[in-house]
Amino acid sequence: MSDLATSAPTDFIRDIIDEDLRMNKHEGRVATRFPPEPNGYIHIGHAKSVCLNFGLAKQYKGTCNLRLDDTDPAGESMEYVESIIRDVHWLGFDWEDRLFYASDYFEKLYQFAIELIKKGEAYVCSLSPDEIREHRGSFTEPGKESPYRNRSVEENLKLFERMRAGEFADGEHVLRAKIDMAAPNIVMRDPIIYRIKREPHYRTGDRWIIYPMYDFAHCLSDALERITHSICTLEFENNRPLYDWIVERLIPANRPKQIEFARLSVSYTVLSKRRLIELVQKNYVNGWDDPRMPTVSAMRRRGYTPEAIRNFCAEIGVAKNDNLIDVALLEHCVRDDLNERSPRAMSVLRPLRVVIDNYPENQVEDFDSANHPQKPEMGTRKVPFSRVLYIERDDFMEDPPKKYNRLGPGREVRLRNAYIIKYESMLKDEKTGEVKEIHCTYDPATRNAPPADGRKVQGVIHWISAAHAVPAEVRLYDRLFTIEDPGSVEDCLQYLNPNSLEILTTCYVEQNLKNVKPGSQYQFERLGYFCADEKDTREGKPVFNRIVALRDTWTKIAGKG
């Protein structure tokens, strides 16, 4: 397994923290937080932030809080909160008793706003949304000051109180920080810090009708939690001056510092929350945990392990460059982890009947098969062998090319963990010409042993005894999008992959998998890693999701997808 995940990473954030520690800021304390808004499930991009924030806390023997940044009631819900709690835990991180909600700070934030008004640094503005936008100016032109900018402190206090009391309609007034309408940074042109919004909040119900804006709530929440390093993504860089402006005015000491890093992008996948919500709501996928989704719960259901995801986050690093990580790296991390831990099993996804003509009619032999070729400590299992078998339809070709290492007319192959068999004849469907059945003979002397004459066979294939086969349903998941960077496209939905889900209903797995434990991963030899679905289980017919295919050089040679 990769040892990079355990080696201490170096990055610019750690440099900043080291420097702060050297200057003895915050009494040598390091406190971070992971602050998602509960308006959707967290995805692999959030996982990067989770690993970063909790990883930093661990490395510096500090703390990392989980904070739900729920300052806009629209779209937020307890279901999302619960999914976030579950997913961060599953990723392997613990915030102990430090679970916080921005909504728990509403009263304190309101008091902070009053303090700002009293300092003469915030005012109630009664411009309409359109007027506010017009007054804001543009990139090239400075904004114009609001006619309400110079209301007296008393009037502002009274108006703000009445805003809270519900005396005004939504949008009638807002509270604004009094900064500089001519600031080159548009964020600083008297930003709105409170708005009236009559929308029930999933936690505070209708107790509040005014809600603080992100810029006001976030930095103060950080301060209230005594966060030392507030790590967020690059698009908030423009907001940092405002973060500092607010904190400098309201927090006397131990002010938190905002540090930005580049958000994650992964090829062939979309991580925009807006897009993911759309995929779910318009039923392009079957919910947030559809195994094709890039969400943490989908990856769990698909069979990814938390270790694989953490290793991935360690491998990609943290920097400020815009990036597009090759999804192959994610898949590599998944294989790398699963290769170590997954027991092997045989299965046949697209069955083709094989009859061993010279094998006794009613005989059954149990082969002891290793659960892991490199790990004897993982033990063995019995795999029954009999006269009629299923092999993978792909593993027989009537007219094979030279590089094909499997069964064909005149060829001999090893049945994995069993005998060498030799092709004798085939039966075809008279109408379609499709091969229906292969007849072979076996060499009894090759039971788990090389042939005495030292001859080489064409290859090794997997198989299942027909009489002992357990029917299963197998789902092959492929990437959801067909283009490398769907995230950069306005309408990425037109690039949805129509073949992203293939359901195979006539599969067979080993009898050992009859009562497979939901959520457990196996390597189906020569096929890939599969996971028993944790949700969709059926009596006697297990359902497997393909986590990821094995690295397969033959598909490259043959040019198959």
Q: How far is the CB of 456 from RNA (least distance, A)?
A: 9
Site for RNA in 455-494 (CB under 7 A): 459-461
Q: How far is the CB of 435 from RNA (least distance, A)?
A: 17
Q: Does 445 bind RNA (CB under 7 A)?
A: no
Under 8 Å between Cβ of 473 and 392: no
Q: How far is the CB of 127 from RNA (least distance, A)?
A: 6
Q: Does 326 bind RNA (CB under 7 A)?
A: yes
Site for RNA in 13-52 (CB under 7 A): 15, 35, 37
Q: Does 398 bind RNA (CB under 7 A)?
A: no
Single residue of 318, 474, 492, 531 touching RNA by CB under 7 A: 318
Q: Which of 25, 58, 263, 514 is catalytic?
A: 263
Q: Does 417 bind RNA (CB under 7 A)?
A: yes
Q: Does 409 bind RNA (CB under 7 A)?
A: no
Q: Does 278 bind RNA (CB under 7 A)?
A: no
Q: Which is nearer to RNA, 89 or 320 (CB)?
A: 320
Q: Does 339 bind RNA (CB under 7 A)?
A: yes
Q: Which is nearer to RNA, 36 or 542 (CB)?
A: 36
Cβ-defined contacts of 7-16 (< 8 Å, 24+) = 8/59, 9/55, 9/314, 9/317, 9/318, 11/317, 11/318, 11/319, 12/318, 12/319, 12/320, 13/52, 13/56, 13/229, 13/231, 13/259, 13/261, 13/318, 14/56, 14/59, 16/229, 16/257, 16/259
Q: Which of 273, 302, 310, 546 is catalytic?
A: 273
- Indicate the SS3 state at residue 369: strand
Single residue of 62, 317, 518, 519 touching RNA by CB under 7 A: 317
Site for RNA in 86-125 (CB under 7 A): none
Q: How far is the CB of 244 from RNA (least distance, A)?
A: 13
Q: Does 322 bind RNA (CB under 7 A)?
A: yes
Q: Report d(CA 298, CA 356) in Å as an integer.
A: 42
Single residue of 44, 298, 325, 476 touching RNA by CB under 7 A: 325
Q: How far is the CB of 179 from RNA (least distance, A)?
A: 13
Q: Report d(CA 508, CA 195) in Å as an integer.
A: 60
Q: Which of 25, 29, 37, 341 is catalytic?
A: 37
Rg for the chain, CA atoms, rounded:
31
- The interface mask with RNA, positions 216-235, x = CB under 7 A, is -xx---------------xx
> Residue 168 contacts by C-beta under 8 Å, 6 or more apart in sequence?
162, 196
State yes or no: is 37 an active-site residue.
yes
State yes or no: is 263 an active-site residue.
yes
Q: Does 372 bind RNA (CB under 7 A)?
A: yes
Q: What is the length of the chain?
A: 561
Q: Report d(CA 124, CA 18) in Å as an integer.
A: 42
Site for RNA in 162-201 (CB under 7 A): 170-172, 174, 184-187, 192, 195-197
Q: Which residue has the tokens 């997808």?
A: 561
Q: How far is the CB of 400 from RNA (least distance, A)?
A: 8
Angle subtended at Cα 127 by Cα 121 and Cα 132, rounded to the nearest 5 degrees = 80
Q: Does 422 bind RNA (CB under 7 A)?
A: no
Q: What are phi and psi of 397, to 5 degrees?
A: -135, 135
Q: Which is nearer to RNA, 261 or 288 (CB)?
A: 261
Q: How far is the CB of 336 from RNA (least distance, A)?
A: 6
Q: Which is nearer to RNA, 290 or 513 (CB)?
A: 513
- Indicate the SS3 state at residue 194: strand
β-bridge partners, 258: 230
Q: Which stretch binds RNA (CB under 7 A): 86-94, 150-158, 280-288, 368-376?
A: 368-376
Q: Which is nearer to RNA, 27 or 141 (CB)?
A: 141
Q: Does 358 bind RNA (CB under 7 A)?
A: no
> Residue 312 contacts by C-beta under 8 Å, 6 or more apart in sequence?
44, 329, 330, 333, 334
Burial label for 180, CB within 10 Å (0-12, 13-18, 19+), is middle
Q: Which is nearer to RNA, 220 or 316 (CB)?
A: 316
Under 8 Å between Cβ of 219 and 243: yes
Closest Cα partner for 63 from 221, 218, 229? 229
Q: Which is nearer to RNA, 57 or 242 (CB)?
A: 242
Q: Which is nearer to RNA, 137 or 287 (CB)?
A: 137
Q: Which is nearer to RNA, 196 or 534 (CB)?
A: 196
> Residue 429 contacts by C-beta under 8 Å, 6 or more apart in sequence?
435, 436
- Indicate the SS3 state at residue 321: coil
Q: Report d(CA 103, CA 68) in Å as an integer.
A: 8
> Residue 8 contacts by C-beta under 8 Å, 6 or more apart in sequence?
59
Q: How far is the CB of 431 from RNA (least distance, A)?
A: 29
Q: Does 551 bind RNA (CB under 7 A)?
A: yes
* Helix, strand, coil in percent for the chain, rounding step 5: 35, 25, 45
Site for RNA in 511-550 (CB under 7 A): 523, 525-526, 550
Single residue of 6, 24, 281, 321 touching RNA by CB under 7 A: 321
Single residue of 203, 332, 387, 468 touching RNA by CB under 7 A: 332
- Indicate the SS3 state at residue 447: coil
- Give the β-pairing of 420-428 and 435-443: antiparallel
Q: Which is nearer to RNA, 273 or 301 (CB)?
A: 273
Q: How far is the CB of 394 from RNA (least distance, A)?
A: 9
Q: Report d(CA 318, CA 495) in Å as an integer.
A: 29
Q: How far is the CB of 225 from RNA (least distance, A)?
A: 15
Q: Does 72 bind RNA (CB under 7 A)?
A: yes
β-bridge partners, 354: 389, 438
- The interface mask with RNA, positions 232-251, x = CB under 7 A, is --xxxxxx------------
Q: Report the catalytic residues.
A: 37, 263, 273
